[in-house]
Amino acid sequence: MSKRTIVTMPGDGIGKIVLAEALRVLEAAGFQADYVHADIGWEFWCNEGNPLPQRTLDLLEKHKIGLFGAITSKPKAEAARELAPKLQDKGYVYYSPIVGLRQHFNLDICMRPCKTFKGNPLNFIRRGKNNEIEEPEVDVVIFRQNTEGLYAGVEWTNPPDNVYQALASHPKFKKFADTPKEELAVSTRILTKKATQRIVRAAFEHAKKFGYKSVTVCEKPNVIRETSGMMLAIGREIAKEYEGIELWNTNIDAQMMWLTKNPEDYSVIVSSNMFGDIVSDGFAGLVGGLGFACSANIGEEVAIFEPTHGSAPKYETYDPPIVNPIAMILSACLMLDHIGETEKAQKIRAAIAKVVKEGKVRTYDMMKLKGSPEALQQGAASTTEITDEIISKIKS
């Protein structure tokens, strides 16, 4: 088989550190690929007025598969101030390049697995009936609609007249009618049937492929009747095609409460954009947090794999680096799954499981230490050391 070409987008801060480590692990697992570097992030915003240059989009269009580290985002005004002098006041407006990638390639399916690694000191524990300590095993995969809903960006402050009139035509707008238009901020939550069907179907397909017993639609249909209501109705429709997989229905608020009560009962969860973001961070917190949270953004053609964490700029300059590369490595495993290299992905996951269980080599976050260079003197492993340990388990 000819070698694959993977587009690597390290981005900013620790994105550069963890992506390089993931490539070492992929190689150790026997995955052969050509990697092409693509520019993304703060540097390109400052120097070109565009954090997501067209040449990066072209590379992804051509090669279809991307590995992404993390980027730095800053509020609008701060971003404008950091633009190179020659670009100042030319009308450039900062936007998040990762959100840009999701929109440009319609990466509408976001998958975020949250699975307990035994022996991880960051695992959630609770007390059982007889006051004993229990450590529930979480194995949840969140399917988050990635392109619509509250994050689609259809929003206004001081909405234009035509928008205002449309809003005013709704009977429930009465309570806002006395507020001056300039004092109104509106963010819309638009869901389409097509994208909702795609995310719900992706969730059921995943449950079927990997033998999960239920798919939970996690929304709020009792209050947000139109959009959450549509997702639940589509869930009920699609569930009929998947015999043996139960459809569950939870409200996002209650789900967050149950997170610590019975997280082991959930399997596949499907949500709209914002609720999916919330519930996936919630579950990630039970299984190790940002150092372990991986994700896939999958469209019909292009797919991009990234850790959930950001660029943690404070840690960028530590030499040796101390951040946990596991979230990035697990994201690379999702890439392997996606392109049919499941065996190699499983080999890497098994190696991570061994390292975590043995507990001899742990990054600062796993030791609950403060993230500082001193953590290494206190026994924490560096980024490179834990990667080396994972690689040695792959090879043993």
Which residues here bind Mg ion, judged by CB under 5 A?
277
- Which residues are paired to 127 by β-bridges? 133
- Which residues are paired to 218 by β-bridges? 250
Distance CA 210, CA 133 (A): 30
Q: For residues 372 and 392, which CB has a smaller minimum distance to ligand NAI in the complex?
A: 372
**Does the footprint of ligand NAI cover residue 312 (CB under 6 A)?**
yes
**Does the footprint of ligand NAI cover residue 70 (CB under 6 A)?**
yes
**Cα within 13 Å of Cα(106), Cβ side:** 6
- What does 310 interact with, of Mg ion, ligand NAI, none (CB < 5 to 8 A by kind)? ligand NAI
- Residue 277: CB minimum distance to Mg ion, A: 5
- Residue 297: CB minimum distance to ligand NAI, A: 10
Q: Residue 371: which residues within 8 A CB-CB, separation 6 or more? A: 314, 315, 322, 323, 364, 365
Q: For residues 98 and 356, which CB has a smaller minimum distance to ligand NAI in the complex?
A: 98
Distance CA 141, CA 385 (A): 29
Q: For residues 228 and 383, which CB has a smaller minimum distance to ligand NAI in the complex?
A: 383
- Round the CA-based radius of gyration of the chain to a whole number and report it: 22
**Does the footprint of ligand NAI cover residue 309 (CB under 6 A)?**
yes
- What does 70 interact with, of ligand NAI, Mg ion, none (CB < 5 to 8 A by kind)? ligand NAI
Helices and strands (H, E) in the chain, number of each type: 14, 14
- Residue 215: CB minimum distance to Mg ion, A: 22
Of 21-40, which residues contact ligand NAI (CB under 6 A)?
A: none
Of 221-240, which residues contact ligand NAI (CB under 6 A)?
A: none
Q: For residues 277 and 306, which CB has a smaller minimum distance to Mg ion in the complex?
A: 277
**Does the footprint of ligand NAI cover residue 361 (CB under 6 A)?**
no
Among 199, 279, 323, 332, binds ligand NAI (CB under 6 A): 323
How far is the CA of 80 from the CAs of 50, 91, 126, in angstroms? 11, 9, 47
Q: Which tokens go with 34?
A: 């050509």
Distance CA 114, CA 296 (A): 12
Among 71, 199, 268, 298, binds ligand NAI (CB under 6 A): 71
**Does the footprint of ligand NAI cover residue 99 (CB under 6 A)?**
no
Alpha-helix residue ranges (DSSP H) falling in the chain: 14-28, 42-48, 54-63, 76-82, 97-104, 161-168, 193-210, 227-239, 252-258, 273-286, 326-338, 342-358, 374-377, 383-395
**Does the footprint of ligand NAI cover residue 144 (CB under 6 A)?**
no
- What does 331 interact with, of Mg ion, ligand NAI, none (CB < 5 to 8 A by kind)? none
**Does the footprint of ligand NAI cover residue 324 (CB under 6 A)?**
yes
Contact 384, 321 (CB under 8 A): yes
Segment interacting with ligand NAI, rule: CB under 6 A, options 66-74, 217-225, 228-236, 296-304 = 66-74
Contact 218, 254 (CB under 8 A): no
Contact 30, 89 (CB under 8 A): no
- What does 323 interact with, of Mg ion, ligand NAI, none (CB < 5 to 8 A by kind)? ligand NAI
Distance CA 269, CA 261 (A): 16
- Residue 363: CB minimum distance to Mg ion, A: 21
Among 51, 291, 299, 321, binds ligand NAI (CB under 6 A): 291
Contact 240, 104 (CB under 8 A): no
Distance CA 280, CA 293 (A): 9
Q: For residues 71 and 355, which CB has a smaller minimum distance to ligand NAI in the complex?
A: 71
Segment interacting with ligand NAI, rule: CB under 6 A, options 140-148, 279-287, 322-330, 350-358 = 322-330
Q: For residues 231 and 366, which CB has a smaller minimum distance to ligand NAI in the complex?
A: 366
Segment interacting with ligand NAI, rule: CB under 6 A, options 149-157, 239-247, 308-316, 374-382 = 308-316
- Residue 308: CB minimum distance to Mg ion, A: 6
Look up residue 149 and give its DSSP letter.
B
From the list 38, 42, 97, the residue with the least C-alpha distance to 62 is 38
**Does the footprint of ligand NAI cover residue 215 (CB under 6 A)?**
no
The site for ligand NAI (CB under 6 A) is made up of: 14, 18, 70-73, 98, 290-291, 306, 309-312, 314, 323-324, 327, 365, 371
